[in-house]
Amino acid sequence: MPMLFLTLLIALLLGGCATTTAPASGGPATTVPVTPAQRTAAAEALSVERQWLGTWFRDTPVKVAQRGDGVLTLEVPREFCFDSGRSTVKPALAAVLDKVAESLRRVPQAQVALLAAPDDASVTTPLAMQRADAVRAHLRSRGVAEARLAKSSPAASATVQLRLIAYPSPL
């Protein structure tokens, strides 16, 4: 009987390791147990989205890529995103964000793990955060749930950066 109890306890603890929770940063969260097979299927779903988004933005300056770990990345050059000194989303960026929102509807387990926007200069000022907040607000206006969006952040380059993941990494 003690061996059965110990086995059950270990199984429960290991099962808890596969369950992800909200990160301390307040980014996207899930409380669904995630198996390796689910991670693989989700990465494959993001691969389909990479191809779909790639067809939409072929021959445009929008860069759509997928890393080896399955993470889908999108980068849109600043000049197509915002007017100088302003944080209003331009129509070109709005079109990209609309397709990202559609991808998020098509892959319900996907989340935006990075949502970053640049400033006009190489120095980060409040304008970068205002722009990132505008990107976030646009996605929210297209029905993307708050829990599926990372916190706004300034971009390290002169592009709006979005990173989509299928599930948060296990803790």
pLDDT tens-digit map of 76-105: 999 999 999 999 999 999 999 999 999 999
Question: Which amino acid type is present at position 64?
Answer: V
For position 112, what pLDDT does the model report? 96
Distance of CA 37 to the CA centre of its chain: 20
**Rounded distance between C-alpha atoms, residue 88 and residue 79, angstroms:** 12
DSSP 87-99: -PPPHHHHHHHHH
Neighbours of 7 (CB within 10 A): 10
CATH 3.30.1330.60 fits 35-165, yes or no: yes
In the chain, where the domains are located: 35-165
Please say whether the beta carbons of 113 and 168 come within 8 A: yes
Query: What are the helix (H) ranges across the chain?
Result: 2-17, 36-56, 91-106, 126-141
* Confidence band of 168 (pLDDT split at 50, 70, 90): low
Q: Does the pLDDT of residue 169 top 80, yes or no?
A: no
Rounded to two decimals, what is the model's pTM? 0.76
**Distant-in-sequence, close-in-space partners of 22: CB < 8 Å, separation ≥ 6:** 29
Question: Which of 35-44, 68-77, 143-152 is the least confident region?
Answer: 35-44
pLDDT class for 121, splitting at 50, 70, 90? confident
Phi/psi at 133 (nearest 5 deg)? -65, -35
The Cα 54–Cα 63 span in angstroms is 8
Nearest of 101, 120, 71, 72 to residue 63 by alpha carbon: 72
pLDDT over threshold 60, residue 149: yes
Q: Tokens 């990075």 appear where?
A: 114
R_g over Cα of the chain: 18
